[in-house]
Amino acid sequence: MAKKMKIAALISAFSLAAGTAAGCSSGGSGSDSKKKSNDVISLSSITSELGAGWNLGNTLEANTGGTPNETVWGNPEASQEIIDMVAAAGFKTVRVPVSYLSFIDDANGYKVDEAWLNRVNEVVDYCYNADMNVIINVHGDGYNSVNGGWLLCNGDDQDYIKAKYEALWKQIAEKFSDYDEHLIFESMNEEFDGTYTTPNRDYYSNINDYNQIFIDTVRSTGGNNTHRWLMVPGWNTNIDYTVGDYGFELPTDNNNKAGENRVIISVHDYDPWDYCGEESKKIFLWGEKGQEIVEVNKASPKSKANWNEKNIEESMQKLKTSFVDKGYPVIIGEFGCIDKTHANAGIPNQIAENRAYYDGFLAGTAASYGVTPVYWDNGYNGQYGFGLFNRKTLEQTQPEIITTIVSAVNNKDPQAGRNVKIRSYTASAGSTEKKAINAYIGIQTEVFTFRNACNDGQYGIDSEWFNTLIKWEDTDGDGTDDIVDTGAVFQDAEITKDGTYTVSVSGYDFSADSNALNMLFISTDTKYSSALKLTDFVLKCDDKETKIANPVISEDNDGNLYIELVNKYNTEAKSADYTMAKDSFSITFNIEGVDKVLK
């Protein structure tokens, strides 16, 4: 996934994961009877065989400074127990993204680090042991944004790139030549020049060359590789740029010994991005279910994405017409939407239900068009995470979504999640357990462009307007002011441990409306406690930073922690040195004693 979710907790210790799984030899000790069985998955049965898929994301493709390290992005090492958990949930296919990067020795014939290739082998064996299909690829090596990325379609030395790519796939293919067709190779991941505009046809031609090199190299290694299923993507695995007249060319497969096609088209689907992946609290509803929430729960219509069920159906129809109907299976190697249950604190269950509906609709629609969907799970659970499982405790964190996806695929049912009910975000009666301190930036300009405190009765956290920077303006000329959404975005903080945090509001020219602030503050949902120590406040207005030595730290009318940086109505709040921002205000601060409050 190009737009990867940031993982909050990084593992600082650098320990390579090669060969660390207990009970597995360095050469891979999977189920020999299965990997050497020469099982054949036919063109007619591949979609049903693959079923619902799941990504072991942010693990074997994780890296630091261009060196692969499977725990550096916060996930535990892959294990048999993790894969068994996924299999028990009903998924039939695991996609394992893999980066090689600095583990390829350019000075030694592009030799791949043997310990790393053995580790990939171990993870493949975990999937075989669980009787699952598995897809492995070359993942982060093709990113312009990754330190050490080299498989670049816009690179200057294409002869070098293509020679290295051929050498890499030759070694991977030879490593797994005796594995049957339950192992699928995917040539690369989200390959493009890093820009999201219309593809450059010269660069697209290089992608086509890579796919052809991949096919020819794998087939040449013999064994089961002569008839193995092979996946190839178009530009950035984008559906429109693959089915449309933008430059994609199917590779030839002249050395395929299967007697029928063994090439799969690889695409990804995170549409609409403002709902599925954008870490903004503006768009958190989608489709018919989202409209129902707008009408029943009085959520703001502006929180609903414009892209809907019809758009998904049109995308699947394009894939079916362009490829499936012509004998080329299609796998959506990544899909899903991030967790926005806290985007509107008043209706978290409904937001979660809408998420289940979206995932089920895409998965079920794909299956009904003969397309295989593989959910993107980056292992991160919490706000803006894609995680469905807790890989450390081996528990399902989103059981309703898991059941919906599996059922949607098995039954080819886009409506599998339409009536899902979720109560995970409703606190039990009398419960005092608190998992985080939520801190929210508040602002009021001299012309009352504002966001009020979280406990404000009219515009607080339980209102549809809380995540909207609003101003009063007579938009229709009737002499009365209306509420206007300025389009700005809030970044709030979920505080779970001691550390430095930032809250902000951005995306609006405050200076165009007024010359000064009435108020700038941080409100929270947590009772004031002397155990909390807050220091090192820095106010940033656009690019200008100002240290705030003595903000007013107190409790609001409900007894919750409240911090004032600017308040013209409070004589205790000293005037801060700031210039009215053209784009953003942010407040950074340090907090200690969190563990004494979160018991």
Instruction: Read off the pTM.
Output: 0.71
Active site residue 190: yes
Percentage above 90 pLDDT, the chain: 73
pLDDT band at residue 574 using 50, 70 and 90 as cut-offs: confident
Percentage above 70 pLDDT, the chain: 91
Note the pLDDT of residue 353. Answer: 96
Mean pLDDT, rounded, for 105-122: 98
Per domain, the residue ranges of the chain are 35-281+308-410, 437-597
pLDDT band at residue 19 using 50, 70 and 90 as cut-offs: very low
Mean pLDDT, rounded, for 164-168: 98
Chain position carrying tokens 């020795």 = 105
- pLDDT at residue 99 is higher than 90: yes
Across the chain, which distance is largest between two alpha carbons, in Å? 84
- pLDDT at residue 27 is higher than 60: no
| pLDDT: which is higher, 457 or 132 | 132
- pLDDT at residue 471 is higher than 60: yes
- pLDDT at residue 331 is higher than 50: yes
| pLDDT: which is higher, 572 or 431 | 572
Query: Beta partners for 542?
Result: none
Indicate the pairing of strand 489-491 with strand 111-112. Answer: unpaired
Lowest-pLDDT range of 208-212, 400-404, 516-520 = 516-520
| pLDDT: which is higher, 319 or 469 | 319
Catalytically annotated residue among 186, 190, 278, 564: 190
CATH class of segment(s) 35-281+308-410: alpha beta
- pLDDT at residue 300 is higher than 70: yes
- pLDDT at residue 328 is higher than 70: yes
Buried b (16+ CB within 10 A) or exposed e, 88-119: ebbbbbbbbbbbbbbbbeeeeebebbeebbbb
Look over the chain and give the mean of its residue pLDDT values, rounded to a whole number.
89
Mean pLDDT, rounded, for 426-455: 76
SS3 content of the chain, % helix, strand, coil (to 5): 30, 25, 50
Lowest-pLDDT range of 151-165, 213-227, 530-544 = 530-544
- pLDDT at residue 253 is higher than 60: yes
- pLDDT at residue 446 is higher than 50: yes
For residue 301, cis peptide bond before it (omega within 30 degrees of 0): no
Active site residue 334: yes
Note the pLDDT of residue 28. Answer: 43
Buried b (16+ CB within 10 A) or exposed e, 28-62: bebeeebbeeeeebeeeebbebbbbbbbbbbbbbb
- pLDDT at residue 474 is higher than 80: no
Note the pLDDT of residue 472. Answer: 80
- pLDDT at residue 233 is higher than 90: yes
Alpha-carbon gap, residue 451 to 465, rounded angstroms: 8
Catalytically annotated residue among 334, 353, 464, 564: 334
